[in-house]
């Protein structure tokens, strides 16, 4: 007999809770099943791959980032909007250790993840393009380079200390601006 919908939903949430308690690099489906108190088959029914589980764990972060990108497109100060979006993205990637992996992955398990990522990228691109047009961004900087810089700052904060975040973010935002006299 197939589990009732409410049982399936509870099992899915138990699996996600167990997965969230681990680092993104430590998602082993057998261990997650044990910790969640479900069989490995239950885990595989909900999440056929570690990648699918990673996407589900980061789903709320993706939605929050999409909303922040949408809000930033409506900010009249394009330079400030970009700086705020960079700060929010960095903070979210530090909170959700798997978010970066999901964001930069070229292939997604869940088509909804693909759609949300497209919205995020579109919002970032709009904010970035407006900031470029306003002269708030170095003309030689690309959006891909900016994405790599945010990932690099995340990595640097993880290697260092959480207290490094504000200084490194300031260095990033300052470095994005055109050089003085340009």
How far, in Å, CA of 80 to CA of 82, rounded? 5
Residue 118 region by backbone torsions, left for phi larger than 0, else alpha for psi between -120 and 50, else beta: alpha
Q: Please tell me the total count of domains within the chain.
A: 2
pLDDT in tens, the chain (182 residues): 444 578 888 999 999 988 888 877 778 888 898 989 999 999 989 999 888 999 999 999 999 999 999 999 999 999 999 999 999 999 999 999 889 989 988 888 899 999 999 999 999 999 999 999 999 999 999 999 999 999 999 999 999 998 999 999 999 999 999 987 65
For residues 62 and 50, state if they share a domain: no
CATH number at residue 19: 1.10.10
How far, in Å, CA of 101 to CA of 25, rounded? 10
| DSSP designation for 109 | S
How far, in Å, CA of 120 to CA of 67, rounded? 8
Position of tokens 């910790």?
A: 35
For residues 17 and 87, state if they share a domain: no
Range of the domain at 132: 58-176
For residues 148 and 159, state if they share a domain: yes
Do the domain assignments include residue 38? yes
Do the domain assignments include residue 42? yes
User: Do the beta carbons of residue 93 and residue 151 sit within 8 Å?
Assistant: yes
For residues 150 and 166, state if they share a domain: yes
Do the domain assignments include residue 182? no
pTM value is 0.85
Do the domain assignments include residue 98? yes
How far, in Å, CA of 56 to CA of 19, rounded? 10
Last residue of a domain, one of 56, 72, 99: 56
The torsion of the CA quartet 10, 14, 19, 21, rounded to 10 degrees, works out to 140
The DSSP annotation for 2-62 comes to PPPHHHHHHHHHHHHHHHHTS-GGG--HHHHHHHHTS-HHHHHHH-SSHHHHHHHHTHHHH
What is the per-residue pLDDT for 4?
54
Do the domain assignments include residue 181? no
């Amino acid at each position: 007999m197939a589990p009732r919908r409410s049982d399936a939903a509870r099992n899915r949430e138990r699996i996600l809770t167990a997965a969230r308690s681990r680092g993104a690099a430590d998602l082993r489906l057998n261990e997650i099943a044990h910790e969640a108190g479900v069989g490995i088959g239950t885990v595989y029914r909900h999440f056929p791959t570690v990648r699918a589980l990673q996407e589900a764990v980061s789903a709320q972060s993706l939605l929050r980032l999409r909303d922040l990108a949408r809000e930033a497109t409506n900010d009249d100060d394009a330079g400030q909007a970009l700086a705020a979006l960079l700060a929010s993205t960095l903070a979210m990637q530090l909170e959700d250790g798997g978010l970066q992996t999901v964001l930069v992955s070229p292939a997604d398990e869940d088509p909804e993840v693909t759609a949300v990522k497209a919205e995020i990228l579109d919002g970032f691109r709009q904010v970035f393009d407006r900031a470029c047009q306003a002269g708030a961004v170095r003309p030689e900087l690309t959006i891909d380079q900016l994405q790599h810089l945010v990932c690099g700052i995340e990595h640097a904060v993880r290697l260092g200390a959480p207290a490094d975040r504000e200084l490194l973010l300031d260095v990033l935002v300052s470095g994005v601006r055109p050089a003085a006299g340009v």
